[in-house]
Every structure is written in structure tokens, then in C-alpha cells.
Chains A and B, each alone.
Chain A
Amino acid sequence: MEFAVALDRVIPAPRAKVYRAWLDPEVLAGWMGPDDFSVVVATVDERVGGTHFVELIDADGQHHTFTSVIQELVPDERIVLAWRFHPTAEDTLLTVTLRDAEGGGTQLRLEHERITYEGELDTRSVDAGWSQTLAKLQALLTD
């Protein structure tokens, strides 16, 4: 049994722009951290075999790093990363596929496979994730 998650989103922006958002460090830094995390540094060595790295700091001053090795790059179409939730974690496989959405914009499919349990991300992080989503939902509904 493979443990995997898949998410589909339509993003109202051209494919090229969504593709760059994963690879341009300054853009990546703008969205990779949730509300109570800030990105300290993001670096991308944009080639197959290159390192894709994001370091974040949470509200408690704890540092977190996501270190990945680029497996595949198809401009404006596909990014495959061997994703690690921390430097000593096991590799997981992250595939981002971009297609033109029917009504315009980009259809993004994110598949995260070969997931194993990582103790580093504790229940506190889980709670943070949920509360932020609820806050966003609330903001959206009260807009």
C-alpha cells in the first residue's frame, strides 16, 4: 500500500507563472510558510540533481528545513522533487503537474507519495495547520 495524497487546484494565473513560483526563491519564500512561520531563506539550484531548499522559523523560534533534490523539470509543466521534511528524513516523492485549466488559469495537481511518518512534525504543527485554515475560511466568509 502506498501512502499518498493528491490535491487539485485551479490557480488564476498562467502556467509559466505557477511554475516559476516553485523555483524562484523569492517567490517561493512568499508562500511556502504558513501564517505563523516565516521563511528565513529559500535557495533553488535549478537543474536535475540540484537542491531545492527552504528554511523556516516558527512562532516559537524553532527552525524547520525542507530539503529536496530536483528529480525532473519540464518547463511550465512538471516538477518532481525528492522531498524531505527535515535533513535526516526519508525521501518522499513530490510531483507537481501543471495544465491549462478549461476556463483559463492553471490546473495544478500536487501528488505527494511514499510518505512515511516523521516525528519532527508534531501535533502542535497539525493544530496550527487546522486553525489557520479555519481562520482563512472565516476571513473568506466574512469578506
Chain B
Amino acid sequence: MVESLDVVFHALSSEPRRDLLGALAGGERTVGDLASPFDISLAAVSKHLKVLELAGLVERRVDGRTTICRLRPEPLTEAREWVVFIEQFWSTRLDRLEKLLTEGDA
């Protein structure tokens, strides 16, 4: 596991950060590009980007005087796998519950 999923879940728990990820899904963006459609300051965008970067969801690189950001979708796959696991956990048990109660009637 590259990053702790707790960090990923935390990063995804904020609407501005999800909006930033949405913007990055369209391709690489500079920090300035990312800030302009939102009613938030460059400093606030940088703060959110830092959280996303720590979660491994965003990569930043400096190109001359601009910082370019890129989406890294890999941690999202792990988060999704965990949710799928919980679904599977309950699905297996509900199968057994159903079987148990149905057999009880027989």
C-alpha cells in the first residue's frame, strides 16, 4: 500500500478538494488555473493541494515560475476496493442469514 487509506479518506472528505480533483480529471493544471474557477484564494488552493498531495492523489512539479498539478488516481482504487470488501462482507453474511431462516421454516 502506497498511502494510508485514512489519509485518502480524509483528503476526500472536503468538497473543495473533491472539486480540485474534478478539475484535474480533465488534465494537468497550474495552481493559478485551479484557483480561478473557485471563489477561494491561491493560499487556500495550495493548502488543499498539499492535503491531496500527502494522500498521493495529486503530484506537483515546478516548471519555471509555475507549479503544475496532475491527478494520481491510484489511491482511489484502493479506497474503492475497501468499500467493495465491506459490501462483500455483509453480502456473504446476509446470504447465510437468509439460508438459516429459510431452512428453519422447512
**Contacting pair B97 A31 (CB below 8 A):** yes
B90 partner, pick from A21, A110, A126, A136, beta carbons under 8 A: A110
Pick the most buried of B12, B81, B94: most chain A CB atoms within 10 A of its CB.
B94
**Contacting pair B88 A18 (CB below 8 A):** no
Beta-carbon nearest neighbor of B87 in chain A: A5
Which B residues are CB-close (under 8 A) to A3? 9, 79, 82-83
Distance A21 CA – B102 CA, assembled complex (angstroms): 12
B4 partner, pick from A112, A117, A125, beta carbons under 8 A: A117
Which A residues are CB-close (under 8 A) to B87? 5, 7
For the complex, count residues of A whose C-beta is within 8 A of B. 30
**Contacting pair B100 A130 (CB below 8 A):** no
| Chain B residues numbered 47-99 whose CB sits less than 8 Å from any CB in chain A | 79, 81-83, 85-99
**Contacting pair B93 A1 (CB below 8 A):** no
Flag whether B105 is at the interface (Cβ < 8 A). Answer: yes
Which A residues are CB-close (under 8 A) to B12? 1
Distance A10 CA – B68 CA, assembled complex (angstroms): 51
**Contacting pair B79 A9 (CB below 8 A):** no
Flag whether A87 is at the interface (Cβ < 8 A). Answer: no
Distance A129 CA – B91 CA, assembled complex (angstroms): 9
Which A residues are CB-close (under 8 A) to B98? 9, 11-12
**Contacting pair A7 B83 (CB below 8 A):** no
**Inter-chain pairs besides A13-B104, A31-B96, A129-B92, 8 sampled, C-beta below 8 Å:** A1-B9, A1-B12, A1-B13, A3-B83, A11-B97, A34-B92, A117-B6, A121-B89
